[in-house]
A = this chain, B = another copy of it.
Amino acid sequence: MTMNEIIDAAFTRHRDALLADYFELLRFPSVSSDPARLGDCARCAAWLKRYLSRLGFSVEIVLAGDQPLLIAERAGATRPPTVLFYGHYDVQPADPLELWKTPPFEPTLIDDRVYARGAQDNKGQFFAFLAGVGALIEAGVPLPPLRILLDSQEESGSRALHAALPDLRRRLAAHVLLVGDTGMHTSGRLAITAGLRGLSHLTVRLSGPDHDLHSGTHGGVAPNPAMALARLIATLHDDDGRVAVPGFYDRLIPPTEEERRQANRLPFDPEAYQRETGTQPTGGERAYNPIERGCFRPTIEVNGIQAGHTGPGTKTIIPAGAVAKLSMRLVPGQSPEGVIRLVSEHLKRHTPPGLTLEIGEAQANGPGFRLPLDSPLVRLASGVLEQMAGEPPVFLWEGASVPIVSALQEQTGAAPLLVGFGLGEDRIHAPNESFSLTQFQLMMRFGGLFLAELAARDA
């Protein structure tokens, strides 16, 4: 049997048990942004500890502040390179609940797809990787030394892990940092993610009157925080979609010609984009094509805005205040802290008289980064993916962020490698998130093949 066949046979043989465990994992509502869910996160960690122990790992739940991080280790049959696999068992909030067709924390298999919050991001992807590890162990295939780090807070900035990293650096030391939190190309071609954007965010509050005012008595007299916030947000971009915050682009490192060529190798398919999102790729800077906008250009987006009354009926008020949540996606060269400062200063400068601006919950999650395309590690992973698909993988520079990757790279010295099997139709972060068993099997296969190859190469 080839290695491929060994892994596929393991999936077929253990399908029911694998799905039962996967579903158990998905039932924990481990929403990290909601402090009320911390107990659910802890229970999820305890479940994972038992699961990994049964696979032969020595496992510890490390409390970083109040956050239960999970660190597992398994001595390899071979010498280094040591692999550190990073995943996260926390998930995004499930709201708006009314848009879910199946309960978000009761996984449901419909045709080939498992529907649940976290079905893909990231429980599905890391659990499929563990299934690949399990298949090798069962078949007695040599593995390299393997460390596993499962974060409890990736969806809300990995603050505890960031803070604990200096203390954990020895225990997490590795040569390769494998992250399975990314996707394939929209065409379904397998892919290596050669870069991620960074992330900063902040909350803007504008307050004016000390209570909601009657919009008749006070309309045209009192300043309107809802309207002023709208105008303030409008100052963030020019009419061509370019960020209008002074200094925002100053330190940005543009992509190399090779990176740009690779990114544009597969054409952008506007019809596929319309099918996947329900809209056209009309956001961002008009000066760049949609691929380059998503890969190599930073953004400021409004994630939410709220003021006054938007329920049924009318309430003719000037709201006392207005709030917006902004996030910035960053590219190499931009400082997450620096961008928060620039945007905050810009907002302050444009706040009209009579209103008070408050910047809160500012959080610099991490910088963007790009991998060198010609490293031996990237070539090895390319070979594995080519073996799986019969054609070389494509390189993606994802617009999304896994901010902890840069920090782990810096602290552990490991070279990052990002391979995942997500697709747009998985609707991560949105209602009705799902992951197909086909994608699950791809991740399982890649995990097994990559580890086996690494061990064989060293032997």
B212 touches A301 (CB 8 A): no
Task: Kindly list chain B residues whose C-beta atoms are within 8 Å of the C-beta of A327.
Answer: 215, 219, 314, 316
A218 touches B294 (CB 8 A): yes
Given A216-B199, A223-B279, A314-B156, check contact A304 B323 (CB 8 Å).
no
Minimum Cβ distance to chain B for residue A351 (Å): 11
23 contacts between A and B (CB under 8 A): A157-B314, A197-B219, A208-B278, A213-B430, A214-B429, A218-B283, A219-B399, A220-B284, A220-B293, A220-B329, A223-B280, A226-B303, A230-B231, A231-B234, A233-B234, A280-B353, A281-B354, A303-B315, A303-B317, A303-B318, A305-B322, A310-B323, A314-B325
In the complex, A324 has a CB within 8 A of chain B: yes
- One of A57-65, A91-99, A109-117, A379-387 at the interface: A91-99
A227 touches B221 (CB 8 A): no
Task: Kindly list chain B residues whose C-beta atoms are within 8 Å of the C-beta of A430.
Answer: 211-214, 317
A211 touches B284 (CB 8 A): no
> What 0/1 readout, one digit per residue, does chain A (292-324) give for beta carbons within 8 Å of chain B?
011001110111111111111111111110111
Q: A121: nearest residue on chain B (CB-CB)?
A: B214
In the complex, A424 has a CB within 8 A of chain B: yes
Distance between Cα atoms of A283 and B213 in the complex (Å): 12
Minimum Cβ distance to chain B for residue A98 (Å): 13
Minimum Cβ distance to chain B for residue A110 (Å): 17
A218 touches B302 (CB 8 A): no
**Given known contacts A219-B299, A303-B314, A304-B307, what 20 new A-B pairs fall within 8 Å (CB)?**
A210-B277, A211-B277, A211-B430, A214-B429, A216-B400, A220-B294, A220-B329, A221-B290, A222-B282, A222-B283, A223-B279, A224-B302, A227-B236, A229-B305, A282-B353, A282-B354, A303-B315, A303-B319, A306-B306, A310-B325
Task: Kindly list chain B residues whose C-beta atoms are within 8 Å of the C-beta of A294.
Answer: 217-221
> What 0/1 readout, one digit per residue, does chain A (391-411) give for beta carbons within 8 Å of chain B?
000000011110000000000
Task: Kindly list chain B residues whose C-beta atoms are within 8 Å of the C-beta of A222.
Answer: 277, 279, 281-283
A306 touches B315 (CB 8 A): no
Closest 5 pairs (CB-CB, A-B): A33-B313, A210-B278, A216-B400, A282-B354, A304-B308
Task: Kindly list chain B residues whose C-beta atoms are within 8 Å of the C-beta of A99.
Answer: 211
Task: Kindly list chain B residues whose C-beta atoms are within 8 Å of the C-beta of A221.
Answer: 273, 281, 283-284, 290, 293-294, 399
Minimum Cβ distance to chain B for residue A310 (Å): 4
A211 touches B279 (CB 8 A): no
Minimum Cβ distance to chain B for residue A428 (Å): 6
Number of chain A residues whose Cβ lies closer than 8 Å to a Cβ of chain B: 100
In the complex, A142 has a CB within 8 A of chain B: no
Task: Kindly list chain B residues whose C-beta atoms are within 8 Å of the C-beta of A136.
Answer: none
Interface centre among A201, A283, A432 (most CB of B within 10 A): A283
Copies of this chain per assembly: 2
Given A211-B278, A294-B217, check contact A303 B284 (CB 8 Å).
no
In the complex, A264 has a CB within 8 A of chain B: no
Q: A284: nearest residue on chain B (CB-CB)?
A: B220
> What 0/1 readout, one digit per residue, does chain A (408-448) give for beta carbons within 8 Å of chain B?
00000000000000001001111110000000000000000
Distance between Cα atoms of A310 and B315 in the complex (Å): 20
Contact of A316 among B201, B237, B315 (CB under 8 A): B201
Q: A316: nearest residue on chain B (CB-CB)?
A: B327
Task: Kindly list chain B residues whose C-beta atoms are within 8 Å of the C-beta of A278.
Answer: 208-211, 320
In the complex, A34 has a CB within 8 A of chain B: yes
Interface centre among A220, A278, A279, A352 (most CB of B within 10 A): A220
Task: Kindly list chain B residues whose C-beta atoms are within 8 Å of the C-beta of A155.
Answer: 314
Given A201-B314, A209-B279, A316-B199, check contact A303 B299 (CB 8 Å).
no
A223 touches B398 (CB 8 A): no
In the complex, A131 has a CB within 8 A of chain B: no
In the complex, A133 has a CB within 8 A of chain B: no
Minimum Cβ distance to chain B for residue A222 (Å): 5
In the complex, A259 has a CB within 8 A of chain B: no
Distance between Cα atoms of A322 and B285 in the complex (Å): 21
Given A33-B312, A314-B327, check contact A220 B283 (CB 8 Å).
yes
Task: Kindly list chain B residues whose C-beta atoms are within 8 Å of the C-beta of A95.
Answer: 309, 311
Given A216-B398, A226-B302, A304-B309, check contact A277 B315 (CB 8 Å).
no
